[in-house]
Amino acid sequence: MNRLKRTDITLRFRHIWVRNLITYHRIWKVNFLVPLLEPGFYILAFGLGFSGLVGRVNYAGMQLEYTRFMAPALVATACMWNSFFETTYTSFVRMYYQKTFDGILATPVSVEEVIIAEIVWAASKAMAAVAVMLTVLIPLGYANFPGALLCIPLAFLGGLAFASIGMFFTGLIPTIDMFNLPIFLFITPMFLFSGTFFPVSGIPDWAGIFSLVFPLYHLVELTRFLCIGAMESRPLFNLAYLLLFIMVFGRLALGTMKRRLIK
């Protein structure tokens, strides 16, 4: 794979971040409606329709109301969807249809900086979405104040993880409709089996080990810890896993994207 030179990565990537922000600015009002309303829908649906069936959830030695168990996971999954979609569909459109990267690569910006800018931008967007969600969840009592505010920087970290793996797929995938594959094989099982809708401790061990591989599991655990002060795992271990995931897939994303962009 391509060599990586330290001089090829500078803070110049921030200009592309600004470019994305300006583009996003035009549609942000519509975009912010989603994180604003989404938790409401879920909580209504699960609170009214589902909690009658499940009653209370045993989690970390506590008896939790189902919606209270699930609400922090909504924050984590929103972080995942926002960042993963940004570096897959949106970056693909910029790269393939709009030729934005080709234009930028005629300026004193390196291909590595373009890729890093996309990943950091996606993480920033996830962070913004989480911040908006908290403005709903905190007043409703689903997230502790002020501790839950730490979910915002955490969303940036989680966003980097999902954005990196999304960018990795963008470097590999031949056509835009092929994104169905990683979504169906990776994102959907991760969405369901990361302690989002039921505690991982409640399922057989062999399945629980499977969950440990998913970065979402670690993000859900950390988010739950910050929102309700309880968790089944160890925060430092979760953080370390996310960091490792970012480093591995960040590097792989640079590899696949460089191979794709440099002709």
Site of interaction with other proteins (CB under 8 A): 7, 12, 15-16, 18-19, 22-23, 26, 98-100, 102-110, 262-263
Q: Tell me the closest approach of the beta carbon of residue 20 to other proteins, in angstroms.
A: 9
Q: Tell me the closest approach of the beta carbon of residue 112 to other proteins, in angstroms.
A: 12
CA distance from start to end of the chain:
14
The C-alpha atoms of residue 176 and residue 208 are separated, in whole angstroms, by 32
Q: Tell me the closest approach of the beta carbon of residue 171 to other proteins, in angstroms.
A: 17
Q: Tell me the closest approach of the beta carbon of residue 106 to other proteins, in angstroms.
A: 4
Nearer to other proteins, 119 or 137 (CB): 119
Q: Tell me the closest approach of the beta carbon of residue 107 to other proteins, in angstroms.
A: 4
The C-alpha atoms of residue 15 and residue 245 are separated, in whole angstroms, by 26
